[in-house]
């Protein structure tokens, strides 16, 4: 069976959609940091769609890896000439595969930061985009300020240092463009952060100011940072996925991507040096993305947190198992209707009722096989941004918070490190040690977990929240996740 690379594309056209364009004629107009599954199922896919329509051939992607773990992606992308298979898993079990060709180069910054910097400093690059996860923006989760004490940031601020961070690499490229009289590129965040462009502006400007105040002022005044809302469930690729692709599609792909059929990208139309005709690929270009991103973060993302800890504790391991359970599905709908929706702004062109029903349908797609472990990971980067704002707004306005408080309690119970059957839980979180230590004390100290002000701010000082949280945590300890949800439903 052939390995995926350019010479085999012509032989795959019968079973697998392949690029209809000549990839040798593409030129890079975008440098992208964080070439993971989501980027390859989303931004790169939209660009490939345009290229197949005869457009955007000067907007191909040069991917960049910054983390040590990205070395593996470098090996795969080099071996496959940056080609990969994207497989859409439909609810009826059918699969739609296509080879994506919009990425044409991959650079590994730890090996050669100078080449990465010069790539961005070149006139051809007009957008630098990011999917570096919520934790990649280096801000304090309570104050929201840039963490200048990060050891890699401290290193990058030293005169003459070879940059280790995305901040150091991008800022040095901007400095060179400024010195050469070139206009700056647009920095386009595609991460699940409220106001992702605003956050990127604040963090990159803060770094640039620390490096050179004049450069910082130039970045703040000249570099666009459009906000965006992105959405597509993209679970981690498994060996089962690789084997299925090889068997069904007739090609061996070392790192394919699987995803759901749903896709959405809402993007503010603020660019300094032009952009691809994204609207022709289905992207919604708007002046203000905030209503859409709040909808997604507080309905979809927070609902993921609502299902994952309760579901895992109860013995489920996949999102579809939880969403297909009527008790859990009703809990999610009640959270969305009664707690999240009251905190949203009007969303032009969106039927929120239909959107929420669609979310349950998406979560229920058993063929996507999105793991609860993935949804439970890095909670300290997620809960403060997706759920805590819902709690705060409802507390301020006298709204309901019982379900949101129960989600926090389910996280606290999850971080005790065993499920209800006594099986160990592998907690994955940047704050794993202090959170698990607090969770271990909460039988004797019920408020130990939420006393972490880095994560929860002053919620521990609010008696309404504390009462709802402790009631839910007590139910989780006393009767378990399923019965705790039943008790919550009866009280509501």
Q: For the segment 4-31, what is each residue's pLDDT rounded down to a tens digit? A: 999 999 888 677 899 999 999 999 999 9
Looking at every residue in the chain, the average pLDDT score rounds to 95
What is the largest distance, in Å, between two alpha-carbon atoms of the chain?
67
Q: Which of 32, 50, 25 is nearest to 100 (CA)?
A: 50
pLDDT higher than 90, residue 283? yes
What does the alpha-carbon distance between residue 103 and residue 99 come to, in Å, rounded to a whole number?
A: 11
Q: For the chain, what are the domain ranges?
A: 6-286, 290-491
- How confident is the model at residue 158, as a pLDDT? 96
Residue 329 vs residues 147, 188, 231, 304: alpha-carbon distances, Å: 39, 34, 20, 11
CATH code of domain 6-286: 3.40.50.720
What does the alpha-carbon distance between residue 138 and residue 151 come to, in Å, rounded to a whole number?
A: 11
pLDDT higher than 90, residue 451? yes
- How confident is the model at residue 194, as a pLDDT? 84
Judge contact between 66 and 165, C-beta under 8 A.
Answer: yes
Kindly indicate the confidence band of residue 1, based on its pLDDT and cuts at 50, 70 and 90: confident
For the segment 221-240, the average pLDDT, to the nearest whole number, is 95
Kindly indicate the confidence band of residue 249, based on its pLDDT and cuts at 50, 70 and 90: confident
pLDDT higher than 90, residue 253? yes
pLDDT higher than 70, residue 141? no
Rounded to two decimals, what is the model's pTM?
A: 0.87
For the segment 105-133, the average pLDDT, to the nearest whole number, is 97
Judge contact between 318 and 366, C-beta under 8 A.
Answer: yes
Domains 6-286 and 290-491 share a fold: no
pLDDT higher than 70, residue 361? yes
- How confident is the model at residue 142, as a pLDDT? 66
- CB within 8 Å of 274: residues ≥ 6 apart: 126
Pick the CATH number of 290-491 from 1.10.1040.10, 2.40.420.20, 1.10.10.10, 1.10.287.3610: 1.10.1040.10
What does the alpha-carbon distance between residue 160 and residue 113 come to, in Å, rounded to a whole number?
A: 12
Per cent of the chain over pLDDT 70 is: 99
- How confident is the model at residue 13, as a pLDDT? 62
For the segment 333-360, the average pLDDT, to the nearest whole number, is 96
For the segment 46-66, the average pLDDT, to the nearest whole number, is 98
């Amino acid at each position: 069976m052939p390995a995926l690379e350019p010479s085999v594309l012509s032989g795959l056209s019968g079973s697998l959609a392949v690029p209809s364009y000549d990839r040798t004629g593409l030129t890079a107009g975008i440098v992208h940091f964080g070439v993971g599954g989501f980027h390859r199922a989303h931004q790169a896919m939209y660009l490939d769609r345009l290229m197949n329509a005869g457009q955007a051939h000067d907007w191909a992607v040069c991917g960049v890896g910054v983390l040590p773990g990205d070395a593996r992606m470098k090996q795969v992308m080099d071996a496959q000439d940056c080609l990969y298979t994207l497989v859409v898993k439909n609810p009826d079990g059918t699969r739609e595969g296509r080879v994506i060709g919009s990425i044409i180069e991959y650079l590994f910054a730890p090996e050669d930061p100078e080449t990465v910097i010069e790539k961005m400093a070149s006139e051809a690059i007009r957008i630098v985009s990011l999917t570096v996860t919520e934790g990649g923006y280096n801000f304090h989760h309570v104050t929201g300020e840039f963490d200048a004490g990060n050891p890699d940031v401290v290193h990058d601020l030293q005169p003459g240092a070879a940059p280790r961070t995305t901040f150091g690499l991008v800022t040095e490229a901007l400095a060179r463009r400024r010195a050469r009289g070139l206009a700056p590129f647009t920095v386009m965040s595609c991460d699940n952060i409220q106001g992702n462009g605003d956050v990127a502006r604040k963090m990159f400007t803060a770094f640039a100011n620390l490096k050179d105040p004049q450069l910082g002022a130039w970045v703040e005044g000249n570099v666009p940072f459009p906000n965006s809302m992105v959405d597509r469930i993209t679970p981690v690729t498994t060996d089962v996925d690789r084997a299925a692709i090889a068997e069904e599609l007739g090609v061996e792909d070392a790192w394919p991507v699987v995803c759901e059929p749903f896709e959405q990208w809402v993007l503010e139309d603020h660019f300094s040096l032009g952009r691809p005709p994204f609207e022709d690929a289905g992207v919604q270009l708007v002046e203000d993305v905030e209503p859409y991103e709040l909808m997604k973060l507080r309905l979809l993302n927070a609902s993921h947190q609502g299902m994952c800890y309760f579901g895992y504790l109860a013995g489920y391991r996949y999102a579809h198992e939880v969403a297909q359970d009527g008790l859990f599905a009703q809990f999610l709908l009640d959270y969305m209707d009664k707690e999240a929706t009251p905190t949203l702004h009007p969303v032009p062109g969106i039927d929120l009722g239909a959107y929420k029903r669609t979310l349950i349908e998406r979560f229920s797609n058993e063929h996507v096989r999105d793991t609860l472990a993935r949804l439970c990971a890095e909670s300290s980067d997620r809960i403060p941004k997706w759920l805590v704002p819902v709690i705060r707004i409802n507390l301020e306005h006298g709204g309901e918070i019982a379900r949101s408080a129960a989600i926090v309690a389910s996280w606290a119970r999850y971080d005790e490190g065993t499920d209800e059957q006594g099986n160990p839980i592998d907690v994955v979180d940047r704050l794993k040690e202090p959170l698990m230590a607090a969770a271990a004390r909460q039988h004797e100290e019920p408020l130990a977990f939420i006393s972490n002000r880095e994560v929860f701010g002053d919620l521990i000082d609010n008696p309404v929240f504390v009462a709802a949280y402790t009631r839910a945590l007590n139910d989780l300890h006393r009767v378990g996740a399923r019965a705790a949800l039943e008790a919550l439903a009866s009280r509501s």
